[in-house]
Amino acid sequence: MSSKSPTPFQQSVYNFLLTIPRGQVVTYRQIATLLGRPNAARAVGNALHCNPDSNRFPCYKVVNSAGHLAPHFAFGGPNIQRQLLEAEGIIVKNNQVDLAKYQFRPQFPVPNSPAIS
């Protein structure tokens, strides 16, 4: 967690997390693309690592492009991400989520998503 105020991009990432329905996940690149910065997947990961409120902004719902969980989940260790996803009914097998089944695919533009300046 970070004590600094989030940047506008980081805040957009956190706000996007609030749009992910229960029982669904997204990828780092997907968030970056939906926020208008398709080459910023690493910046999304950095924003999640600095999440100011992991209870409010569900960063555990973000997986890599192959559906793999974060190897170093920042909020309680790697098993916590799996437990949080499973609590939402998402099946995790070998630390991987089936994106064909669980990936959130919002329409463009994302409703209630803040504009990126």
- Catalytic residue IDs: 59
CA–CA dist 23, 4 (Å, integer): 31
Burial class (CB in 10 A: 0-12, 13-18, 19+), 86: exposed
Provide Rg for the chain, Cα atoms.
13
Exposure string for 57-79, b = 16+ CB within 10 A, e = fewer: bbbbbbbbeebebbeebbbeeee
